[in-house]
Amino acid sequence: MKRVKKGFTLAEVLITLAIIGVVAALTIPTLMADSRYQLLSSRIAKFRSTTEDAALAHSAMNDTIRLADLDSIVLYKNKQDDKAFDTAKNEITDATDTTLYELKDDTILEVSEVEDGDKVSDTYRNTDDKTEFTQKYGAESIKLVFYPRVSGLGTVHGKYTFIMTDKGYVMPSSSDKCLNDLLGTTYNGKMNKTLANANCKKTLVQNY
């Protein structure tokens, strides 16, 4: 009587392991990038919402928001005038008319008056009529450059530029092309169906 063959041969095991290895090599980098992207987008969205909530509350009691009011709006542990953050060197450097806040969650916020050309992203503006926008949300007043730190992703992860209006609304700057996709919604609360494009996503998570 012939004996029934049981189990797998060494060759079959090796082939199976090779296939698993190839699949893992193809999928793990994508899964890691997606995880980093979600951590980063969550951190930036939290900064925008918490800062705006505090600014709107301050505006309700003090009418308009000015640069000096940031002391009462953001939760910081250290403040330095005429300083900025250099992402290339990952260090604080001298700057004119820029204030640097080290926030209590170890992220960094750089604030200054808006300059010519600084404006709210058209996606968030929802109108081409500047007067209509200003009446509803206020005039573009303060430039906020946010440098997030996310646990498990190293040090600072890029820079993300927002504009705060004098009524306290915080919206992505038109100069930051990836922020709309990163935050995932337009300002009026409707879901932005456009997913973050591959180049933006790659830029946001590379080297972290």
pLDDT in tens, 167-197: 999 988 888 777 766 675 444 444 343 444 5
Whether 3 maps to a domain, the answer reads: no
The set of residues, in sequence order, having a beta carbon less than 8 Å from that of 42 and lying 6+ positions away, is: none
Whether 59 maps to a domain, the answer reads: yes
- Asked which of 11-15, 26-30, 83-87 is least confident by mean pLDDT, the reply is 26-30
**Average pLDDT, whole number, for the chain?**
77
- The answer to pTM > 0.85 is no
pLDDT of residue 206: 52
> pLDDT by residue (tens digit) across 138-160?
888 899 999 887 655 556 567 88
> pLDDT by residue (tens digit) across 32-73?
666 777 777 778 888 888 999 999 999 888 878 888 888 888
Whether 51 maps to a domain, the answer reads: yes
Count of the separate structural domains present in the chain: 1
CA distance 127 to 130: 7
Q: How many CB atoms are located within 10 Å of the residue 58 CB?
A: 17
Strand order across the 91-103 sheet: 76-86, 91-103, 108-113, 140-147, 160-165, 170-172
Phi, psi angle pair for 85, to nearest 5°: -110, 130
CA distance 144 to 59: 17
Whether 179 maps to a domain, the answer reads: yes
Q: How far is CA 162 from CA 28, 107, 152, in A?
A: 33, 15, 25
Whether 23 maps to a domain, the answer reads: yes
Whether 4 maps to a domain, the answer reads: no
pLDDT of residue 144: 92
Q: How many CB atoms are located within 10 Å of the residue 170 CB?
A: 26
Domain membership of residue 122 as a residue range = 10-205
Between 115 and 2, the more confident residue is 115
